[in-house]
Amino acid sequence: MASKFFSLCRQGVANNVVRNIAAGSVFSKTAASSGARFLNNRVYSSAVAKKAETHNTTDIVGTAGYEGDSPVEVVSPGDPNKRAFTYFVLGSARFVWASMGRLAVLKLLHSLQASADVLALASVEVDISGINPGQVMTVKWRGKPVFIKHRTQEEIDDALSVNMSELKDPQADADRYLHNKPEWLVVLGVCTHLGCVPLANAGDYNGWFCPCHGSHYDTAARIRKGPAPLNLEMPSYKFLDEEHIVIG
């Protein structure tokens, strides 16, 4: 029994030895192959380095290929032969961007400008030669009615005689006309309550009366009675001559 045990042990040791020898053989072959490749690469790289030194250039780089790879020429970013083309491309791109920006700004400014029809409505010229004393002309300006009244001397005197303490929106009659022409009163025909159009030469004060909610204005277009809080608004205007005014 003991002899058989020792026989099996010797056989197992022998098998291990055979395996180690075989593995060592394979390892040796692999190591030899890798070593040969390493030496070939070192030799090839040394040859390329010597060639670069011979031609005095730094743009030749060797590639350690295993299947006959050849050196690749790399153009450095600072190649003087390419700078002119690079500057041309960059300059052209900047010029295009600048032109596009200028065009965008011009279009924006053009869109902000008032159109011809809007400019035409910004001011209106009116011939007042046909308005007799006591009469009122209504013209349209910026989409709103404008009252132009040729006041009589009696209407002017009535406006001057009003006690300022009686007014909801105190204004002297001298503040209700421009250019030292008290006979001409120019006001917006929009009630200051809710925007209705008052009726001329009507109401308790013979000025304007708003039929919507019963606001009464005097001959100077000042609010005297009713819910309206303010006097009728005065637009800007000027006299071109004795017969023409420009509103706006």
What sign does the CA torsion over 173, 177, 180, 182 have? negative
CA-wise closest residue to 190 among 235, 151, 156 = 235
Name the token pair of 114. 């008032």
For 177, residues 6+ apart whose C-beta sits below 8 A from its C-beta are 184, 185, 186
Residue 60 phi, psi (nearest 5): -105, 120
With beta carbons less than 8 A apart as the criterion, state whether 128 and 244 touch. Answer: yes
- What's the CA gap between 69 and 60, in Å, rounded? 13
* Chain CA centroid to CA 9, Å: 93
With beta carbons less than 8 A apart as the criterion, state whether 203 and 216 touch. Answer: yes
- What's the CA gap between 52 and 42, in Å, rounded? 15
With beta carbons less than 8 A apart as the criterion, state whether 216 and 207 touch. Answer: yes
- What's the CA gap between 217 and 221, in Å, rounded? 5
Q: Provide the residue type at 60 as one letter.
A: I
Tell me if residue 213 is catalytic: yes
* Chain CA centroid to CA 66, Å: 61
Which residue out of 193, 213, 216, 244 is catalytically annotated? 213
Please give the positions annotated as active site.
Answer: 213
